[in-house]
Chain A
Amino acid sequence: MSRRGLELIVDPVACDGRGVCAEMLPEHVELDRWGYPLIEGEISPPLYDNAVRAVRSCPRQALHLVERAC
């Protein structure tokens, strides 16, 4: 299976808008007017490590890094 890059997705049921992801990965995440993340999905390779840290830091475990479907 060829790698087509990584994509950040949020589980909107688990997410309750703590905002940690926007602090850790501001290049790809901003918060909407209610405090929920708006994610620019495809992660640029230099930010992979930051994205993994954001996933691990989410207190609701609502962030997932998935391989992009081609």
Chain B
Amino acid sequence: MSVTLREPATPTTRHGLLHGLTGEAPDPAIEAHHERWGVLRQGRVGLIDQLDASGLAGHGGAWFPVATKWRAVAQASRRGAVVVANGAEGEPASKKDAFLLAHAPHLVLDGLVAAAAALHARRAIAYVPSTHARGVERAVAERRSLDLDPIPIEVVESPDAFLAGQESAVVNALCGRRRAVPSFVGISSVREQGVGGRPTLVQNVETLAHVALVARFGAEWFRQLGTNRDPGTILLTVDRGEGPVIVEGVLGSPLPDTLGLTPQDLGSYRGVLLGGYGGGWISPEVFAKLPLTEKAARAAGTTLGAGVVALLPGRVCPLAEMADVTRYMEGQGAGQCGPCVYGLADLADAMEHLAYGGAGGLSSDRVLEVCNLVDRRGACRHPDGVARFVRTGLGAFAEEVAAHQRRGACRGTRAARVLPIGSTTAGRRLVSRA
């Protein structure tokens, strides 16, 4: 096959990740990808320095500086590292990684191979849900036929579980150890000892797509969008109670503007969940003034996490939504750490009592005590996330809590839930526990 591969001329406009992904089903093929972005010449020196200058932080939820993470892996071993594109996206409310894998797999794989080249890795693995494995395998085959990459890309299916994308769970899954559950890593890290005992980079697929842009066009171009402190863009999964939509936001811009929401629109929502089921709730008033940055999200008591923004419409009961998600999160724990096992069960019981139980249920203070008891008590951050979800919700929905305690379950508890949870917990019963 004879083809001419076009090197990318740096575009004068700074495009986002979704550039050229138009229409109902944007074309994921390599030709369309190269038409949009040109071919990435791999193995250029200085990529880690460019990533450092770009200010890129991880978009899997932790917002850890990418260059710092890569340097830690590089220092652990000059050769023989393993790099992993993490597409597990166990969070049911997040769909942006799935969108990238379906419609822009080559941007992700460009970033994965760039990481492998920069870290002199001996293995490059795409860890993706079974629903997207075939598509990614097709993309890998296209790349092989063009002889694009200096390293073969392995495709491994991730289990369908909330914790499947947690860093040490990814390593355990790839080692064939146990289920995909987290390990207690103490003060060590998979960066030093991961897959097969080798230094391992586990990087979210959206982050790798951003890496692919920095690798092509450099840090300066990358920083043309966003602010000096928060450069670049972010993929958000936005749900206004009508199903998920993927939106690319510019960091530092006002969040409501990013979503095309006016102050009048905001009046019809009861609260906003930012950062998903391990994130936190904010009031529409706080949301109205929130800039799209991790720092601002943390100051508001939550996180951008993996970019989930869920707005609760007026028809639903926030406490019922919280109760069902809390029960789901209890079930999605790995079942390894006592405080998480018992604490999340207590939190789910308490939230169900608040939402569905009769008048005169548990006080918010009692629930907050349990939140404090599970915080930072697990091998991973699962309990911390649930504690934040519950704690911030009780704050944002204090009026609803008081109303439920006075009069029992409200009419909204009978409306269909808007926050997605696994099918196992669909159609939850009304719980009344003595």
Contacts and interface: CB of A to CB of B under 8 A. Distances in A.
Given A11-B184, A12-B338, A15-B337, 15 more contacts: A9-B187, A11-B186, A12-B337, A12-B377, A12-B378, A13-B183, A13-B379, A15-B338, A16-B338, A32-B339, A34-B343, A35-B338, A36-B338, A36-B339, A66-B186
Interface in A41-70: 64, 66, 69
Contacts of A13: 183-184, 336-337, 379
27 contacts: A11-B184, A12-B184, A12-B337, A12-B338, A12-B339, A12-B340, A12-B377, A12-B378, A12-B379, A13-B183, A13-B184, A13-B336, A14-B184, A15-B337, A15-B338, A16-B338, A17-B338, A32-B339, A34-B338, A34-B339, A34-B342, A35-B338, A36-B338, A64-B186, A66-B186, A66-B187, A69-B187
A4 interface: no
Nearest to A69: B187
Interface of A: 9, 11-17, 32-36, 64, 66, 69
A13 B379 CA distance: 6
B416 interface: no
A9 B187 CA distance: 10
B377 A36 contact: yes
B369 to A, nearest CB: 9
Contacts of A64: 186
Interface of A, helix, strand, loop or mixed by DSSP: loop
Interface residues of B, number: 15
Contacts of B430: none
Contact of B336 (A12, A32, A66): A12
A25 to B, nearest CB: 18
A64 B187 CA distance: 11
Contacts of A34: 338-339, 342-343
A15 B373 CA distance: 16
B379 A33 contact: no
A11 to B, nearest CB: 4
Contacts of A17: 338
Contacts of A36: 338-339, 377
A45 B338 CA distance: 29
A17 B342 CA distance: 12
A58 B342 CA distance: 21
